[in-house]
Structure 1
Amino acid sequence: MTEVIDKAFAAALYADGDEGLDTGASLLAAAPEADAELWRRGEELVRRAWERGWQPADVIRMVGRAQDDIAHGTDRAHQTQLAAELITTETRRYGDTLPPRWQAQLAELIPQSTPRTDRFSQATTTLALYRLLLRLPAIEPVGPAPGTPLHAPPPPGHEEPRILTRIRALLAKAEATGFPEEAEALTAKAQELMARHTIDEALLASRTHAKDTPGACRIGVDAPYETAKAILLDAVATANRCRAVWNEAYGFSTVVGFEPDLEVVELLHTSLLVQGTAAMTKAEAGQRAGGRKRTKTFRQAFLLAYANRLGARLAAAAEDVTVESPDAGELLPVLAARDVAVTSHTERMFPETSTTRVRGATDHEGWTHGTAAANKAHITPAQRHLP
């Protein structure tokens, strides 16, 4: 049993090229008695991914991005489901000791039954997934690996602050409504609550002398137009006193900041991206109605302009909220100290980073419509016009 798996792995996982997948799959297809050990090996590979800094959402994202194995005939949907099942069963061994972000990611993994295929196809998909897991490199960890004792484990029944639940509900309504005025009002209220939440948490940590330190999270930046989406995320992160480092090869940005600010960045970025995509689709429909056929350059320019303009608006809004706070005298040095802590933590995590030159937008109509959409995205409680 073990010998069969070792031979299959040697052919499919450790050899170059795709030819070994057929050899390994043939060996496994003829040995149903090896299925239990094969599954155990898969859980071990998942565990090694955790030790190298990966998290459940990261692994699922990498499976979805894999292109080479699709050409060999493996089923991406089946491979994703297999990964979800492995992750779900492997993480059960940690009980309730997983950090909240892990619990949230696992809650989104809902393994579903996939149509049964012949043993050869099943083995091919399994080996392709195992090969991907085996070859995942070490990346910057954004939290402890499963099984590591937590310094401050969440109490039983721990839930997110009620204010974040309200913010989620407001943004969800803003994204769903078909009335721009209503969306603006809902987003404005959500932004007001976000700013209040961030300031309250910073002052509380300072007044109680809490030993609060920056953390990090990863946010997926999916194709197409990932450059513009990464720029938007960077703008949202910077406005909320976080730092974002984009990893283009793996399709995610690592955002560094204090936990309340990270939560705000995730919520606001997701909502603004949804709003921007909806506005882009509407503007594009108008262009097509006017006889325009090319849309790729329009979309690229639209999203770049949208991210660029929102960056300016978010920065101005963040400054206004801070200056107008009744505790501004106490707040400013507190925020300055937190900025220094975030910058230092980012530099420790990423001692070597590079600056990427963004390809300029070449579509005037796309840039104009994107800027207009950013101006309409209501992100501050007080309506202000930037010159």
Structure 2
Amino acid sequence: MPDAENLVADALMAARGTDIRAAERALDRLVVGAGPAVDAALLARLVRGVGRLWQRGWQPADLDRLAVRRLDPRAARLVRLAAAAQRPHQAGPVPPWFDDQLAELDTRWDTDTDWLNRWAAREGVDRITALRDAVDALGLVASLPPIALLRPPPGGPAAAPRVAVAASGSRMLDRVRALLAKAESTTFPAEAEALTGKAQELMARHSIDAALLDATAERPDQPGGVRLSTDAPYAAAKALLVQEVAAANRCESVWSDDLGFATVLGFPADLAAVELLHTSLLVQATAAMLRGRGERRAKGGSRRTKGYDESFLNAFALRIGERLRAATEAANRDAVEERGDERLLPVLAARSDAVRERLDTLFPGVTRHRLQVRDADGWSSGTSAADRASLDAGAPARRPVRGRR
């Protein structure tokens, strides 16, 4: 009988093929193989595979998000466990952000001994099912392509270059979170408009203050990035919302449709603004879309919702983007009056240039996807909802989504 390593390799190859019977036969051979040796070989492959992903741009949050998207829930949990199992094998320094992401996955690794049977017992499944899940998890890990390296990975040089990371806690951000939470919960459109507008104003002013402070730092930040989920349904509309919010906050966005996320590049204060605003506006847009869908049905309109929903969300994103950009421009004008354009404008221009340069370096082959309006009622309703959710501005600009192939 082949050794455990070969049994695992054969099972992985068969699982990635199209012959279902061959995959089942390979799994059967794993089942009758030497249990401890097979388990050890599976774990070793998973740990090596996950460890290679960190060097190829993946982060624990990215891996978990994609596993949830592509695998069944049990296999996705096994991928999460593999990330925790890889941590003790990590050579070299591990940055705090990496351990923070692992902690957020809420998974602990206890021991290598009898790991698969212990996991199967916790999940309430038999060994055959556990082996199938392990092969599925391994197949995903082994198939993932390199992606943009947004942060120095674990095991890298201790003195890595400074890369901007979105700020997560401050009094200003707490105020913004509170404002946006009220905007999401209120049933009065005018109140939501005022609250969202105040949040954008606060973040725009904070961004200007951070830019001026960083310009005098001995080691100024370099643009960093975050990834935001754009899962179905209506992934393209969600990516467009990310792009519009990013543009309003001096960031650049690229959508990776096949991987289910948009990458946003920018400086820390701006990245924090994009994350907070995007999350809140997606909640507001979804709620408004559902209300609009109900009103449409009450008036005897079509019960088919896909075209309506897509058009609604696209219109909402474009309208919101223009209104948020108007708020940012107003904050810039106020800051210029207070501080003088000879100090502020060159700093902001230099930061915008740095973000675009980072975009060109990480994503040299981006393409653009044009929008299609499939439902006039949805477009009109989405525009009206955005008018109520944010600030006054003119007509929306028809801008395509930047995506990566």
Residue 118 (str. 1) matches residue 131 (str. 2): no
Deviations along 1:211-262, one digit per CA (max 9) or x if unpaired, are 2211122222111111111111111111111111111121111111112211
Mapped to 2, the partners of 1:122 and 1:36 lie a distance apart of 14
Partner of 1:73: none
Match of 2:281 in 1: 272
Q: Tell which deviates more after alignment, 33-42 or 54-63.
A: 33-42
Partner residue of 1:367 out of 379, 382, 388:
379
What is the TM-score with the length of structure 2 in the denominator?
A: 0.83
Structure 1 segments of 4+ aligned residues over 4 angstroms from their partners: 92-101
Distance 2:174 2:22 in 1: 50
Cα distance in 2 between the residues matched to 1:236 and 1:277: 16
Say if 1:44 and 1:96 are closer, same or farther in 2 by CA, change over 3 A: closer
Q: Would you say the 8 A contact 2:317–2:386 is kept in 1?
A: yes
Contact in 2 for aligned 1:230/1:253 (Cα 8 Å) = yes
| Structure 1 letter corresponding to 2:383 | T
How far apart, CA to CA, are the structure 1 residues paired with 2:340 and 2:100?
A: 34
3-state SS, counterpart of residue 108 of structure 1: helix
Q: How does 1:1-387 map to 2 (within 5 A)?
A: 3-13=3-13, 16-17=17-18, 18-30=20-32, 31-34=34-37, 35-66=39-70, 76-91=72-87, 98-99=94-95, 101-111=97-107, 115-148=123-156, 149=158, 151=160, 160-292=169-301, 293-325=303-335, 326-329=338-341, 330-358=343-371, 360-378=372-390, 384-386=392-394
Q: Deviations over 1:308-348 (max 9, x none)?
A: 11121122111111011122422111101111111111111
SS of the equivalent of 1:141 reads coil
Question: Structure 1 pair 93/4, CA: closer, same or farther in 2 (3 Å)?
Answer: closer
The two structures, once aligned, show a CA RMSD in angstroms of: 2.7
8 Å contact kept, 2:57–2:148: yes
Deviation at 1:276, TM superposition (A): 0.6
CA contact (8 A) 2:162 2:222 kept: no
Give the TM-score of the pair, scaled to structure 1.
Answer: 0.87
For residue 323 of structure 1, what is the amino acid of its counterpart?
R
Q: Give the deviation of 1:364 after TM superposition.
A: 1.2
- 2:11–2:135 Cα contact (<8 Å) kept: no
Distance in 2 between the 1:194 and 1:46 partners? 37
Change in CA separation of 1:345 and 1:81 when aligned onto 2, cut-off 3 Å: same
Number of residues of Structure 1 aligned to a counterpart in Structure 2 = 371
CA distance in 1, matches of 2:274, 2:182: 18
Alpha-carbon shift at residue 92 of structure 1 (Å): 5.0
Q: Rate the CA distance shift 1:20–1:322 in 2: closer, same or farther, 3 A.
A: farther
Shift of 1:101: 4.6
Contact 1:12–1:23 (Cα < 8 Å) also in 2: no
Whole-angstrom CA distance in 1 between matches of 2:340 and 2:92: 40
- Alpha-carbon shift at residue 209 of structure 1 (Å): 4.7
From the superposition, tell whether residues 179 and 20 of structure 1 become closer, same or farther in structure 2 (CA, over 3 Å): farther
Q: Percent identity?
A: 41
Does the 8 Å contact 1:234/1:243 carry over to 2? yes
1:80 Cα deviation (Å)?
Answer: 1.2
